[in-house]
Structure 1
Amino acid sequence: MYVVGPCNVVLHPGYRCTWRSCVHCEIKQRCEGNPEPCGIDIKPGYPPDIPQNLTCVQNMNSHNVSCIWTTGRGTIIDTTCQLRVHGDLHLGYRSIMNSTGFCHSTFPIKSSVMSQLVVWLNVSNTLGIKTSGPHTINLINIVKPSMPEILNVSCSSRWCSLHIDNHSMNLVEIQYSAVNVIWDTFQNNDKSRLNISSLHPDTMYNFQIRRKINHTVGLWSDWSQPKRKKTKEEAPDKALDVWYLQELKPPESKSKCFRIFWKELNISDAKGKIQRYNISVLEQKGKSNSIIAVPPSRNQSICCYNCSVSVSAVNSEGQSPVKIIQLRLPGLHTGLLSHKPLNNHSIALFWPKFDIAGTEYVVHWYPVGNIEGIQWIRVVDTTAHITGLQPQECYQGAVTALRSSGPKMATIKGISSWQSAPEQGPDPELHWKKTESSGVAWSEIPQKKRRGCLKKYTVYLMDNLKGDIHNFSVDHPKRQYVISGLSPRQCYNLWVTAWTDAGEGPRGSVLPFCTPLDSEKMLSLVILAGGAVLLACLILLCICQFSSVHRRFLCCCQCLLPIIPDPANSKCAKTYADDQSEIKFYLDQWDSSVNEEPDNVEVEEVPYPSICTYIKSFSQESSSSDATQFTRITDIMEDYISTHGAISGGEEEDEYEKGERSLDEFEFFPSTHSPFLEPLVLTGGKLTLDVVKIDCSEFLDCT
């Protein structure tokens, strides 16, 4: 390494230092008048290399030539470049080398008849000088046309035509590409119109051109500014790929239901923007039905019986070929499917050869719970590679063998390229509980939290008193379990976890509950029965408020009462009527003005055989008896009963007639013997049963 200074100094890089941070200097010779080089500014650098890689360009319609060359490496210190032209009186065209080691110089051409140039190159700095040359340059080889311009682009569906500005060049190079695609290049000798064929319909292209004098002379011009144009659409020429699955039919539908799926056409096959899908359903009876589906929809539910479906795509230029598929229920195949992961996004699926002459298999799969994400491929072998799977996602699918007599299907579940333990546990809830058993159910884990395919659940039950933990295994997809063997009036804690092939996930929320006692069950039954009886009574009471119901109810109750025999028809009464004997009652006179209660009256009965007193019945039959007998009996009772006023026979007859009239007022009763009627004999000085209080216990003895 060398330095610039008043004397020559050799520099050596210091230990563990760079040339920019520190150097070690040794003085080769002392400078005259400067015995010690103290206070000298030192600037490190390199001497120049020999100039090389000379390139010169003459722009068309210009008399200047621009040349550029390199010096091998940057010298770090200031370096001067110089170009000298043979025959030019100018001493040289100077410039300063840039930091990357390039020198540039521009000079005029003195004569228009010159065909060659001879130049020398010189590079120098304080550490040295380098020169190269002479270099001979043919002017015709360095002529560079100006940058061309694309005026207009017109396109059809398969080709485009470029209209460019006028020029005298004989060679044009064109490059074009679809957006984000590698450029294609070709050359053309047409000076004004350039045609590009073999393009794709409905595709956006970028176009650029450049030109030169001919194949052997001159330099290429710069590329023109890009021009963008889109080709026109064409009608799709490829039929859709269609598949179907059976669906659960609605309750109101008598036909079988299917869901039709189709794949989107890629850009090259669609040849334009798909505006709609035409779906036609044709039944064997000749009935047809047309359905229109609009993108981005790629499926349609159809309910029909023994029918076929045709599907086609439509853009602005026309319709694709029709794809017809027969909707038939596939038979189930008992062959087992197996799979193994290839990487995090693909698996290999294997199955035994079906015992049918199937020439093609359709393998379909979709994420669990998202049938609209279905994908399928068609293969002729018994192996399929399924790609595009998402890690920690569970898929299910099937393999269907196609044959003329009908398809046959084998299903598979639990497909996953990579999985881990679930991220979340299910939340349990108690459906019912008894003294010794309980029913529990739990919620579904969200698909994103499953981290794979669920295999089973584990129900944990902890006895709060003993601290024992019991667990019960439940296969997926079941989400309920009946726990038996519980103790009455005992409290428990319950939680549930989920499993994948990678392991057990965390538990969900904890559910505390207690079992009831048997007495509590009986109490609940008693309360329930009492409430039912009370409700029935209230309803009956409300019904009885209606007069018509009240009358009918009393009639029914009266029919249930036993018939009271008429005392007038008894044997004792008939015997007494024939007997002329009488019973005498002796009663002392009592002063009604005295407030004291009178002494008890002693009644002496003359012992006559078979004598029995009675009160005449108020029935209609007894009322028809002779008046003599009624008068005689009332005369006897007149001697026996003492009241505040005398009771005459006439007054008694009046009361009897009033009683008869009062009975006539209750016309809705069939008989006057109803227990719901008011007493027929009134008190308050009148003859009543409560006042008389005659013991008729001897009636039975007399009969």
Structure 2
Amino acid sequence: MAELGPGNLARAALIILLLPRSLEQCGNINLSKPVVLLGDPVTASCAISQECLHVDRDSEILWKLDAEFQTGGRQQRLPDGSQESTITLPPLDRPRALLFCGLLWGNHLQILDQAELRAGYPPPTPHNLSCFMNITTNNLTCQWDPGPDTSLPTNFTLKSIRMRNHCQSPEAPLPDCIPEAGHSRCTIPRKHLQLYQNMSLWVQAENTLGTSKSVPLCLMPSDVAKLEPPTLRALEPHPEGAPRQPGCLQLRWEVSKSSLYVEQKCELRYQPRRVAANWTVVGPLFSKTLRHELCGLLASTAYALQMRCVRSPLPGHWSSWSASLELTTAERAPVIRLDTWWRRQRQRDPGTGAVQLFWKPVPLEEDSGQIQGYVVSWRPPGQDVAAITLCNTSALGCTFHLPWHVREVGLLAYNSAGTSAPTSVVFLDSRGPPLARLHTLAQDPHSLWVGWEPPSPQPWGYVIEWGLGPPSPSGSNNSWRMEPNGSITGTLLQENIRPFQLYEIIVTPLYQDTRGPSQHIFAYSQETAPSRAPQLRLRLIGKTWAHLEWMPEPPELGKSPLTHYTIFWTNAQGQSSSSRLNASARDCVLQGLEPASLYHVHLSAASQAGTANSTSLTLMTLALEELTLYIVLGFSGFLLFFICLCTSCWFYCKPNRKNPLWPTVPDPAHSSLGSWVPPIMTEEIFQMPSLREASMAPITKIIVMEEEEKQPGPCEPTDSSEDCSLPTLVQTYVLQGDPQSPATQLQPQPSSSDPILYGQVLGSPSVPGPGHYLRYDSTQPLLECFTPSPKSYENLWFQASPLGTPESLVPSQEDDCVFGPLLDFPLLQGLRIHGVEGLGGL
């Protein structure tokens, strides 16, 4: 509903002030028909008075049927100034509805009038009118069938009139009989009736859509009299009379006091209680005797009996059936055939043996009598004594002891009415031919077919035994039956057959005076699923894995073979995983587990017949150790450091860089040192802390010699006065200067004629006096010849030349013992000495 704004609210208030005292005086709905046939249309008009149209004289009149707005109305102004709207509604599909008309004021529908619409059907014609007079009260009660519902209030009236000449001439009407609401019967009291005069009766139905009448019924009240039902009683037998016959019942009845002197006939019906049978009607029975004997019933059976009566020979109605009387028929002696079977077992006493006797009653008639028990007896032959009772039981078998020479016993059934004909049980020897072949087939889970090939000669019958096979005890809860037809080759066993069980079936042929040997066979009714799954065991467990194993269950009889295993594991968060394994698997390793986590594991064994689950196994994976954690973190840090170090080395040692941090030093054993020249020839100052003494002169020159890359000539050992030829000196790298001076100056290159000695010379050219020689103190021989290296105090070259005298840098042939090692020394091979500046001072 839309809310009213400030303007609309003021307008609505003004309209209300201008309206008459009651809104009901503003509008008025007129219907063409207040009640219509269900499915017919309805025409309605709504007029709005002039007093209600002060504010808006052109307001539209709106229609609403229940909760739905209706369109299509035609609106017009009447001569008196009022507005009228006429609308034709669609066919009504419901028995009742409410119609509203009103005006739309400020987005709000103001209802001015409403009317109720009703729809239904005319009343159908009542039928099946019948009446009866109660012989006790003499009131006439009539009942009828009203027909289908009309969806409208319908009134029924029972009308009657006295008639003459077989209902041809009306005489005087009787007061109408109005039934109670919702009932379709009505009773006319005795005071309005003439019991021996005809009257006509009919039922009239009326509603707003019409009226209907039933077919008139002409009757005389005395002709429709209805008796009260009789009362049934059991007839007690006379003590001195004959006993009751089996299958018979004796009963009597008493009529009501109101019909005590009325001639009547009755009907008796009976029904057995233990079976769902229909009623059986016996009659007519006349009231002169008031007793009856009912025979031909089942012995020892409870019956329900009922009786009803009617006037005879006068016309009238049957009374209602009386209350039920329950009686039980007398017993009769059993009329049966007893099929028997036995087993004899030897005992410790060689003279006697235990006999297991089984029997099965076969009724010979429809009602063979109830059986209360069985008696097994033996009468010693040649003795005039009473039979010895071996067992008296209500079961279908018993065990007793007999001497081995006894070959026959008697068996009979009994009840309160007598005993059955005795059955002779003869213990036959097994001397007949056996069955040729025995085979079985499982038809379904609840039956087994057993077949055989009949022997020759053909037996007169067979005994078939079946029961659960091993490991069940032999003979426990076994079933058996006898087949008297010796020509059959098989039978279907359906008694006590359960699915998925192993059964042992035994068949024995029976001959006229003997029996054949028994043969047995095992068969399954149907295979079943495994009874249980193997139990899981934890073998090993780690941080992220677990090794599980199990021992397969031994094969079971009647169990379907396994097809596969399925292992399931679930963590604490409910996340499940599974793995399917072959039936031959014996263990499984669960991978991808979380460390220090709880898991629930179970195993499922499946076969074609079903599955079985093992009990759940709970396990906890190992947690990461502190040492392991440190090792992992340390290894990660070392790996990161190694990567950074390799990156730095590659960055600084890249060949195309102009200013490396250190010079490239090749391996002397695997490179040519002759091609190596320091990139910067700047004089460097070497400091020797071990020689930094006040009395010792600083190092002024360090000479590094490099000879040509050529094979030296042979060097033979000589004395100290002989000379060897020296190779050509090609390069000299000289670093000189005071180690304490702030800067070094390049020295002029000496000429090739200056003398040179392989070693280190200590001293300064500005300081007078002789220099000092410091040789290399390596123990490796410097000479390739067999001449040993000089001692630390020996200096053959300096001894051969006076101090301060420059010698030629080209050694003589006699000096090869001194300079010969330059040809073979690994570090000096290929060095070329270009200058020996500063040696002149030495």
Q: State TM-score, norm by structure 1.
A: 0.54
How far apart are the structure 1 equivalents of 2:403 and 2:555? 34
SS in 2 for 1:218: coil
Q: Counterpart of 1:624?
A: none
Q: Counterpart of 2:490?
A: 383
1:154-181 CA distances to partner (integer Å, 9 max, x unpaired)?
Answer: 4723311111004534321111122133
Q: Does the alignment pair 1:298 with 2:397?
A: yes
Q: Counterpart of 1:664?
A: none
How far apart are the structure 2 equivalents of 1:27 and 1:153? 84
Q: Counterpart of 2:211?
A: 129
Q: Counterpart of 1:176?
A: 270
SS in 1 for 2:531: coil
Gaps of 5+ in 1: 15-19, 428-439, 461-466, 472-494, 511-703
SS in 2 for 1:220: coil
Q: Does the alignment pair 1:92 with 2:176?
A: yes
Q: Counterpart of 1:541?
A: none
One of 317, 339, 349 as aligned partner of 1:241: 339
- Tell me which amino acid in the other structure corresponds to 1:175: R
Shift of 1:24: 10
Are residues 361 and 273 of structure 1, via their aligned partners in 2, closer, same or farther at CA, if it must alter by over 3 Å? closer
Preserved contact between residue 362 and residue 378 of structure 1 (Cα < 8 Å): yes
- Tell me which amino acid in the other structure corresponds to 1:360: G
- Tell me which amino acid in the other structure corresponds to 1:159: C
Q: Counterpart of 1:204?
A: 302
Shift of 1:231: 2.2
Are residues 316 and 8 of structure 1, via their aligned partners in 2, closer, same or farther at CA, if it must alter by over 3 Å? closer
Q: Does the alignment pair 1:313 with 2:413?
A: yes
How far apart are the structure 2 equivalents of 1:352 and 1:126? 87
Q: Counterpart of 2:511?
A: 403
How far apart are the structure 1 equivalents of 2:313 and 2:210? 43
Q: Counterpart of 2:594?
A: none
Are residues 422 and 240 of structure 1, via their aligned partners in 2, closer, same or farther at CA, if it must alter by over 3 Å? farther
Are residues 243 and 122 of structure 1, via their aligned partners in 2, closer, same or farther at CA, if it must alter by over 3 Å? same
Shift of 1:150: 0.7
Q: Does the alignment pair 1:229 with 2:229?
A: no
The equivalences for 1:469-488 within 5 A come to none
Are residues 505 and 359 of structure 1, via their aligned partners in 2, closer, same or farther at CA, if it must alter by over 3 Å? farther
Q: Does the alignment pair 1:83 with 2:158?
A: yes
Q: Does the alignment pair 1:59 with 2:59?
A: no
- Tell me which amino acid in the other structure corresponds to 1:74: D
SS in 2 for 1:48: coil
How far apart are the structure 2 equivalents of 1:424 and 1:185? 62
Shift of 1:124: 0.8
Preserved contact between residue 246 and residue 257 of structure 1 (Cα < 8 Å): yes
1:664-699 CA distances to partner (integer Å, 9 max, x unpaired)?
Answer: xxxxxxxxxxxxxxxxxxxxxxxxxxxxxxxxxxxx
Preserved contact between residue 50 and residue 132 of structure 1 (Cα < 8 Å): yes
How far apart are the structure 1 equivalents of 2:68 and 2:232? 59
One of 233, 249, 259 as aligned partner of 1:151: 233
How far apart are the structure 2 equivalents of 1:246 and 1:508? 46
Are residues 223 and 417 of structure 1, via their aligned partners in 2, closer, same or farther at CA, if it must alter by over 3 Å? farther
1:185-242 CA distances to partner (integer Å, 9 max, x unpaired)?
Answer: 2113332112101123222221111111248832221111111122223332334332
The equivalences for 1:590-629 within 5 A come to none
Q: Counterpart of 2:356?
A: 259
How far apart are the structure 2 equivalents of 1:294 and 1:6? 88
Q: State TM-score, norm by structure 2.
A: 0.46
1:490-518 CA distances to partner (integer Å, 9 max, x unpaired)?
Answer: xxxxx9x999xx769869999xxxxxxxx
Gaps of 5+ in 2: 1-30, 42-64, 87-98, 101-113, 163-171, 238-243, 536-550, 566-580, 586-602, 617-842
Q: Counterpart of 1:187?
A: 283
Q: Counterpart of 2:120?
A: 45
How far apart are the structure 2 equivalents of 1:406 and 1:206? 51
Preserved contact between residue 37 and residue 121 of structure 2 (Cα < 8 Å): no
1:85-106 CA distances to partner (integer Å, 9 max, x unpaired)?
Answer: 11354442123563xxx62221
SS in 2 for 1:413: strand
Q: Counterpart of 2:763?
A: none
One of 452, 476, 483 as aligned partner of 1:351: 452
Preserved contact between residue 360 and residue 379 of structure 1 (Cα < 8 Å): yes
Q: Counterpart of 2:318?
A: 220
How far apart are the structure 2 equivalents of 1:13 and 1:346? 68
Are residues 91 and 509 of structure 1, via their aligned partners in 2, closer, same or farther at CA, if it must alter by over 3 Å? closer
Are residues 265 and 351 of structure 1, via their aligned partners in 2, closer, same or farther at CA, if it must alter by over 3 Å? closer
Shift of 1:49: 0.6
How far apart are the structure 2 equivalents of 1:119 and 1:468? 91
Are residues 375 and 22 of structure 1, via their aligned partners in 2, closer, same or farther at CA, if it must alter by over 3 Å? farther
Q: Counterpart of 1:360?
A: 461
Preserved contact between residue 282 and residue 308 of structure 1 (Cα < 8 Å): no
Q: Percent identity?
A: 19
Number of aligned residues: 446
1:396-415 CA distances to partner (integer Å, 9 max, x unpaired)?
Answer: 32232211341114534334
- Tell me which amino acid in the other structure corresponds to 1:414: F
Preserved contact between residue 352 and residue 401 of structure 2 (Cα < 8 Å): no
How far apart are the structure 1 equivalents of 2:201 and 2:69? 42
1:45-95 CA distances to partner (integer Å, 9 max, x unpaired)?
Answer: 332111211111222233211111123201233211011111354442123
Preserved contact between residue 234 and residue 251 of structure 2 (Cα < 8 Å): yes
How far apart are the structure 1 equivalents of 2:72 and 2:227? 57
Preserved contact between residue 426 and residue 443 of structure 1 (Cα < 8 Å): no
- Tell me which amino acid in the other structure corresponds to 2:376: I
How far apart are the structure 1 equivalents of 2:74 and 2:159? 37
Preserved contact between residue 341 and residue 417 of structure 1 (Cα < 8 Å): yes
- Tell me which amino acid in the other structure corresponds to 2:187: T
Preserved contact between residue 79 and residue 97 of structure 1 (Cα < 8 Å): no
How far apart are the structure 1 equivalents of 2:187 and 2:228? 18
Preserved contact between residue 12 and residue 23 of structure 1 (Cα < 8 Å): no
Preserved contact between residue 230 and residue 253 of structure 2 (Cα < 8 Å): yes
Shift of 1:256: 4.7
One of 34, 37, 42 as aligned partner of 1:7: 34
- Tell me which amino acid in the other structure corresponds to 1:104: R
How far apart are the structure 2 equivalents of 1:24 and 1:116? 61
Preserved contact between residue 340 and residue 348 of structure 1 (Cα < 8 Å): yes
How far apart are the structure 2 equivalents of 1:498 and 1:255? 54
- Tell me which amino acid in the other structure corresponds to 2:184: C
Preserved contact between residue 339 and residue 482 of structure 2 (Cα < 8 Å): no
- Tell me which amino acid in the other structure corresponds to 1:142: V
Preserved contact between residue 271 and residue 303 of structure 2 (Cα < 8 Å): yes
The equivalences for 1:519-538 within 5 A come to none
Structure with the greater alpha carbon radius of gyration: 2
How far apart are the structure 2 equivalents of 1:406 and 1:240? 19
Q: Counterpart of 2:756?
A: none
Q: Does the alignment pair 1:420 with 2:520?
A: no
Preserved contact between residue 442 and residue 449 of structure 2 (Cα < 8 Å): yes
Preserved contact between residue 10 and residue 27 of structure 1 (Cα < 8 Å): no
How far apart are the structure 2 equivalents of 1:270 and 1:263? 14
Q: Counterpart of 1:490?
A: none
Are residues 121 and 345 of structure 1, via their aligned partners in 2, closer, same or farther at CA, if it must alter by over 3 Å? same
Q: Counterpart of 1:695?
A: none
How far apart are the structure 2 equivalents of 1:400 and 1:80? 83
Are residues 269 and 373 of structure 1, via their aligned partners in 2, closer, same or farther at CA, if it must alter by over 3 Å? farther
Which moved further from structure 2: 113-122 or 219-228?
A: 113-122
- Tell me which amino acid in the other structure corresponds to 1:280: S
How far apart are the structure 2 equivalents of 1:93 and 1:141? 21
Are residues 179 and 132 of structure 1, via their aligned partners in 2, closer, same or farther at CA, if it must alter by over 3 Å? closer
Preserved contact between residue 55 and residue 67 of structure 1 (Cα < 8 Å): yes
Shift of 1:417: 4.6
One of 185, 193, 197 as aligned partner of 1:104: 185
